[in-house]
Structure 1
Amino acid sequence: MDNQTGNAVADTREFSTVTEASGSEYGQIRINNNVIAIIAHETAKKVPGVVELQGSLADDLAGMIGKKSKDKGIRIEKENEELLTIDLTVVLEFGVRIPDICVQLQSAVKKSVEDMTGQQVYGVNVVVQGIRSKDEKKTEE
């Protein structure tokens, strides 16, 4: 979490390391946390009931000058070399059953990240930052 704003942000300074299961002589594969954040973002926006991922003030300012961030509202933490925790801050559609959408979101993001990176996801934490009606969603897109 961003200590000043309390919003989730992607930690882009570290790399997650995926080692090949076969013990290959080719070396290590390093996956930047931004890649994991993009996987989580693309997966999250496909879950019905998710309107958007909510980022920090810095993300909002970057959006105003034309920079769109795929890691907005996402923070990746390494528990150890092969275990990740993903924090998502989201806005959901008004009228959905919030716990059900959050469980779907957790399951989908965990599966996508594990399938695409080979790393184990320890947990996907979801903070519901707000809700928005369908009409509001359509006018902002």
Structure 2
Amino acid sequence: MEGTYEGMIHISDQVIAKIARKVVLETKPIVSMPKGIVENFVKRMRGVHAQQGVMVDANQQEVALNLTINVTYGCKIHEVCYELQRSVTKEVEHMTGLMVKEIHVTVEGLVLS
């Protein structure tokens, strides 16, 4: 939440998750974002917002994200993850004005073509 002269602005974790998810699914060679049991557990226990493949932990000025992805066999996984971190950071910061503190990427699956 951010205070302005006119009042408070709050961007929900769900909105941040949707922004991140859109960027992830536009990044090649990422093919999907699995929804795991861990996401559901964390969501219930910690109150952290979880949307398929994206967990968001945000406060008034910064946000941390955990992304879970599946990639295509043969790609350079570390390069894909680095580019994903850069792209998601750029888009979330641009659209929300929040600082992205960290983005953790878990590669859960490898899809054979």
TM over 0.5: yes
Letter in 1 for 2:25: K
* Structure with more helix by fraction: 2
Structure 1 segments unaligned to the other structure (5+ residues):
1-16, 60-69, 135-141
C-alpha distance in 1 between matches for 2:20 and 2:77: 19
Query: Alpha carbon RMSD of aligned pairs, Å?
Result: 1.9
Structure 2 segments unaligned to the other structure (5+ residues):
40-49
Q: CA deviation at 1:57?
A: 4.4
* Structure with more strand by fraction: 2
TM-score using structure 1 length: 0.68
Does residue 1:125 correspond to 2:104, yes or no? yes
Letter in 1 for 2:64: T
Q: For each residue in 1:49-108, what CA deviation from the matched residue of structure 2 results, as whole angstroms up to 9, or x when unmatched?
A: 10111112499xxxxxxxxxx920110013x42111100010011100000000011111
Match of 2:9 among 24, 29, 37: 29
Q: Quick one: percent identity of the two aligned structures?
A: 28
Could you say which structure has the larger radius of gyration?
1
TM-score using structure 2 length: 0.83
Question: Displaced runs of 4+ in structure 1, greater than 4 A?
Answer: none
